[in-house]
Structure 1
Amino acid sequence: MRLRVMLVDDDVPMIKYLVKLVAWETMGMEIVATAHSGKKALQLFREANPDLVITDIGMPQMDGLELAAELKRMKPEIRLLFLT
Protein backbone atom coordinates (compact mmCIF):
# COMPACT_ATOMS: atom_id res chain seq x y z
CA MET A 1 0.00 0.00 0.00
CA ARG A 2 1.36 3.40 -0.98
CA LEU A 3 0.96 6.42 1.25
CA ARG A 4 -0.98 9.08 -0.66
CA VAL A 5 0.62 12.53 -0.27
CA MET A 6 -0.61 16.05 -0.99
CA LEU A 7 1.78 19.03 -1.11
CA VAL A 8 0.50 22.54 -0.34
CA ASP A 9 2.60 25.71 -0.65
CA ASP A 10 1.98 29.11 -2.21
CA ASP A 11 5.62 29.06 -3.37
CA VAL A 12 5.37 27.17 -6.69
CA PRO A 13 9.14 26.56 -7.02
CA MET A 14 9.13 24.99 -3.53
CA ILE A 15 6.52 22.42 -4.56
CA LYS A 16 8.51 21.59 -7.69
CA TYR A 17 11.65 21.25 -5.54
CA LEU A 18 9.92 18.93 -3.04
CA VAL A 19 8.59 16.72 -5.82
CA LYS A 20 12.14 16.22 -7.12
CA LEU A 21 13.96 16.24 -3.77
CA VAL A 22 12.30 13.22 -2.22
CA ALA A 23 12.35 9.71 -3.72
CA TRP A 24 8.62 9.38 -3.06
CA GLU A 25 8.05 6.04 -4.78
CA THR A 26 11.13 4.45 -3.24
CA MET A 27 9.72 5.40 0.17
CA GLY A 28 6.32 3.88 -0.64
CA MET A 29 4.61 7.22 -1.25
CA GLU A 30 2.76 8.77 -4.16
CA ILE A 31 2.05 12.47 -4.79
CA VAL A 32 -1.68 12.54 -5.50
CA ALA A 33 -2.17 16.32 -5.52
CA THR A 34 -0.43 19.68 -5.23
CA ALA A 35 -2.05 22.99 -4.37
CA HIS A 36 -0.83 26.58 -4.21
CA SER A 37 -3.38 27.80 -1.66
CA GLY A 38 -5.28 26.50 1.32
CA LYS A 39 -8.60 27.01 -0.44
CA LYS A 40 -7.50 25.01 -3.48
CA ALA A 41 -6.08 22.35 -1.15
CA LEU A 42 -9.51 21.89 0.47
CA GLN A 43 -11.10 21.36 -2.92
CA LEU A 44 -8.43 18.89 -4.05
CA PHE A 45 -8.40 17.11 -0.69
CA ARG A 46 -11.93 15.84 -1.25
CA GLU A 47 -10.99 14.50 -4.70
CA ALA A 48 -7.51 13.10 -3.98
CA ASN A 49 -8.18 11.71 -0.47
CA PRO A 50 -4.53 11.81 0.70
CA ASP A 51 -3.18 10.06 3.81
CA LEU A 52 -0.55 12.75 4.44
CA VAL A 53 -0.62 16.49 3.76
CA ILE A 54 2.64 18.43 3.74
CA THR A 55 1.80 22.12 3.96
CA ASP A 56 3.42 25.49 4.37
CA ILE A 57 2.22 27.44 7.39
CA GLY A 58 2.47 30.97 5.97
CA MET A 59 0.06 31.32 3.06
CA PRO A 60 -2.40 34.08 2.11
CA GLN A 61 -6.19 33.70 2.54
CA MET A 62 -5.97 30.46 4.56
CA ASP A 63 -2.75 29.61 6.39
CA GLY A 64 -1.49 26.09 7.01
CA LEU A 65 -2.82 25.97 10.55
CA GLU A 66 -6.32 26.90 9.44
CA LEU A 67 -6.05 24.36 6.64
CA ALA A 68 -4.93 21.67 9.10
CA ALA A 69 -7.89 22.33 11.38
CA GLU A 70 -10.31 22.02 8.47
CA LEU A 71 -8.64 18.85 7.16
CA LYS A 72 -8.77 17.26 10.63
CA ARG A 73 -12.47 18.06 10.82
CA MET A 74 -13.02 16.40 7.43
CA LYS A 75 -10.75 13.40 8.02
CA PRO A 76 -9.62 13.02 11.66
CA GLU A 77 -7.02 10.36 10.82
CA ILE A 78 -5.16 12.60 8.34
CA ARG A 79 -1.44 13.01 9.03
CA LEU A 80 0.06 16.47 8.67
CA LEU A 81 3.59 17.77 8.24
CA PHE A 82 4.26 21.52 8.39
CA LEU A 83 6.88 23.45 6.44
CA THR A 84 8.08 26.78 7.80
Structure 2
Amino acid sequence: QLMSGTAVFLTSDPASAPTALMHSLKHYKALHEQNVILSVVTAQQPVVPDSERVKMETVNELFMRVTLTFGYMEQPN
Protein backbone atom coordinates (compact mmCIF):
# COMPACT_ATOMS: atom_id res chain seq x y z
CA GLN A 1 0.00 0.00 0.00
CA LEU A 2 1.28 3.50 -0.84
CA MET A 3 0.82 6.54 1.39
CA SER A 4 0.81 10.00 -0.16
CA GLY A 5 3.81 12.25 0.28
CA THR A 6 7.54 11.87 0.65
CA ALA A 7 9.51 10.15 3.42
CA VAL A 8 13.18 10.93 4.09
CA PHE A 9 15.30 8.30 5.82
CA LEU A 10 18.75 9.23 7.11
CA THR A 11 21.48 6.61 6.96
CA SER A 12 25.24 6.41 7.28
CA ASP A 13 25.31 3.42 4.89
CA PRO A 14 23.41 4.24 1.66
CA ALA A 15 23.99 0.69 0.35
CA SER A 16 21.68 -0.91 2.94
CA ALA A 17 18.09 -0.30 4.01
CA PRO A 18 17.90 2.27 6.85
CA THR A 19 16.61 0.95 10.17
CA ALA A 20 13.94 3.67 10.26
CA LEU A 21 12.60 2.49 6.89
CA MET A 22 12.34 -1.07 8.15
CA HIS A 23 10.54 0.07 11.33
CA SER A 24 8.17 2.20 9.23
CA LEU A 25 7.34 -0.75 6.99
CA LYS A 26 6.75 -3.00 9.98
CA HIS A 27 4.55 -0.45 11.78
CA TYR A 28 2.53 1.04 8.89
CA LYS A 29 2.80 -1.87 6.42
CA ALA A 30 3.02 0.75 3.66
CA LEU A 31 5.49 2.91 1.76
CA HIS A 32 5.23 6.56 0.80
CA GLU A 33 4.82 7.52 -2.86
CA GLN A 34 8.35 8.90 -2.79
CA ASN A 35 11.17 7.76 -0.51
CA VAL A 36 14.55 9.43 -0.13
CA ILE A 37 17.53 7.61 1.37
CA LEU A 38 19.72 10.49 2.60
CA SER A 39 23.37 10.32 3.64
CA VAL A 40 25.50 13.21 4.88
CA VAL A 41 29.22 12.69 4.28
CA THR A 42 32.20 14.62 5.61
CA ALA A 43 34.94 14.98 2.99
CA GLN A 44 38.65 14.84 3.74
CA GLN A 45 39.02 18.37 2.39
CA PRO A 46 38.06 21.55 4.28
CA VAL A 47 35.51 22.84 1.75
CA VAL A 48 33.46 21.09 -0.95
CA PRO A 49 32.41 23.14 -3.99
CA ASP A 50 28.66 23.59 -4.48
CA SER A 51 28.93 21.68 -7.76
CA GLU A 52 30.03 18.58 -5.81
CA ARG A 53 27.73 19.02 -2.80
CA VAL A 54 24.69 16.97 -3.91
CA LYS A 55 24.63 13.59 -5.63
CA MET A 56 21.20 12.23 -6.57
CA GLU A 57 20.58 8.73 -7.89
CA THR A 58 17.22 7.24 -8.84
CA VAL A 59 16.92 3.69 -7.53
CA ASN A 60 13.42 3.00 -8.90
CA GLU A 61 10.04 4.76 -9.14
CA LEU A 62 9.66 4.75 -5.34
CA PHE A 63 13.21 5.38 -4.11
CA MET A 64 15.94 7.96 -4.63
CA ARG A 65 19.37 7.97 -3.01
CA VAL A 66 20.77 11.41 -2.11
CA THR A 67 24.25 12.07 -0.74
CA LEU A 68 25.21 15.49 0.66
CA THR A 69 28.94 16.08 1.02
CA PHE A 70 30.46 18.78 3.22
CA GLY A 71 34.08 19.62 3.92
CA TYR A 72 35.38 19.04 7.43
CA MET A 73 35.52 22.81 8.06
CA GLU A 74 31.94 23.41 6.88
CA GLN A 75 28.82 23.30 8.98
CA PRO A 76 25.93 21.45 7.27
CA ASN A 77 22.76 23.52 7.04
> TM-score per shorter chain, which class?
0.3 to 0.5
TM-score of the superposed pair, with normalisation by structure 1:
0.34
| Greater strand fraction, Structure 1 or Structure 2 | 2
| Greater helix fraction, Structure 1 or Structure 2 | 1
Larger radius of gyration: 2
TM-score of the superposed pair, with normalisation by structure 2:
0.36
